[in-house]
Amino acid sequence: MAQGRLTTSIKAIIVCVLACATGAAAATVSEAGGECAHCHTIQSDRAATTTSHAVVLDCKSCHDDRKPGRVGNRHRSIPNCVDCHDQPTHPARKKRRSARATTRSCLACHDVHGSPNLSLVATDLFWRRRVTGVLFTSEEGASPTGFTHPDAPGTGLCETCHRKTDFYRGKGSSKPHFTDRCTLCHSHDAAFGVVISPESCGVCHGDEVARLAMPSKHSGLPCAKCHTQVAAAPGPGHEASEPCSACHADSATHAPGGVGMPCTQCHDPHGSANTELVREMLTTTAGTDVPIRFDNRDGRVDGSFASASMPGTGICEVCHTTTRFYRADGMGEDHFTFSCFPCHLHGNGFEPQQ
């Protein structure tokens, strides 16, 4: 008797399930996409509880209705990523891939419905039959939650797939490399190829960028003001340097003995703690390096053109060997002690004015 009642109950459940399925097949999909969650619970939960694709998008924004008024297999279209994002695939391909192949490449790293990671990066990456859990919540270059993992080499976001790169390989063995944010040089828009931009100059040229921030007439100028890109990849000579005369045509070079010296002999165009961009460490005409302090124009006083306490160490003195006054050996005839500029103008190469 009990077995008969159980059989009847099971039959009732089966009938109920079939009835629900039949009803669902005829159900219409809500205009707002709310009923999508009934079947697509995983995708809906991700969109609702994590950083979704875009807050202004609902299901219908990407999935067009292919079977109006019905649900079931392929009742809505699946778009390609390139429909909205004209992005190259990573790794870069010499030949442009089809829309579907490009989408497969995007989905290798991104979960389009939502992810707790930044930029919709998936929490699990599949590569060569290996699943790697990824936590990507900051854009730091070397961080447990960034692009590379300093404490567990080979497990960071960028490292999980790398096999032939020079840096940050999946096995955790590679040459030393920068630890700044990877996308400063490796742009997603270029399939993570190396791209030189004003924002990435500081990765290699940190000292120059820091100096450019010092107060001077050059501070605030963009790197491209003086440097023109001549090569797509970084390396020696990838940027050209404009001559100082391009902007300072009215300044003659200082020419002791009739031989002109480059402006950078005395000035650091990127910045200096000294006034007028005078170098803090100057290479003299004798080839020696000497420290320079130049923070006023008073004349023969410490920190000016000639030194009062240490004759021969002022900015003008350190190179002078054949002048009558203010020589590097600290000797010379008596001369004026006020500012050199009334008679020796920079614009005339410091030639004395009558």
Cα–Cα distance measured from residue 89 to residue 102, given in angstroms and rounded to the nearest whole number: 6
**Claim to verify: residue 336 and residue 352 sit in the same structural domain:** yes
Six token digits for residue 74: 């392929």
**Claim to verify: residue 227 and residue 252 sit in the same structural domain:** no
Residue of 290, 297, 296, 295 lying closest to 312 (CA atoms): 290
Look at residue 234 in the predicted model and tell me its pLDDT. 84
**Claim to verify: residue 171 and residue 232 sit in the same structural domain:** no
The three-state secondary structure class of 110 is strand
**Claim to verify: residue 66 and residue 131 sit in the same structural domain:** no
**Claim to verify: residue 56 and residue 92 sit in the same structural domain:** no
**Claim to verify: residue 215 and residue 251 sit in the same structural domain:** no
**Rounded average pLDDT per 10-residue block, the chain, 354 residues:** 42 39 38 71 87 76 88 90 90 86 93 93 88 93 95 91 90 86 92 87 92 93 92 87 93 89 95 96 94 96 96 95 94 93 92 84
Strands (DSSP E) contained in the chain are 124-127, 130-133, 186-187, 193-194, 227-229, 239-241, 281-283, 289-291
* Contact in structure between 192 and 105 (CB atoms under 8 Å): no
**Claim to verify: residue 107 and residue 189 sit in the same structural domain:** yes
Strands (DSSP E) contained in 58-156 are 124-127, 130-133
**Claim to verify: residue 334 and residue 351 sit in the same structural domain:** yes
Domain span including residue 289 = 245-354
φ, ψ for residue 328, nearest 5 deg: -65, -25
* Contact in structure between 39 and 14 (CB atoms under 8 Å): no
**Domain for residue 21, yes or no?**
no
| pTM as predicted | 0.69
**Domain for residue 149, yes or no?**
yes
Look at residue 54 in the predicted model and tell me its pLDDT. 72
DSSP state for residue 97 in the 8-state scheme: P
Could you give the number of structural domains in the chain?
4
**Claim to verify: residue 88 and residue 161 sit in the same structural domain:** yes
**Domain for residue 58, yes or no?**
yes
φ, ψ for residue 352, nearest 5 deg: -65, 135
* Contact in structure between 311 and 305 (CB atoms under 8 Å): no
**Domain for residue 6, yes or no?**
no
Cα–Cα distance measured from residue 289 to residue 300, given in angstroms and rounded to the nearest whole number: 22
* Contact in structure between 266 and 279 (CB atoms under 8 Å): yes
**Claim to verify: residue 98 and residue 155 sit in the same structural domain:** yes
**Claim to verify: residue 148 and residue 233 sit in the same structural domain:** no
**Claim to verify: residue 149 and residue 120 sit in the same structural domain:** yes
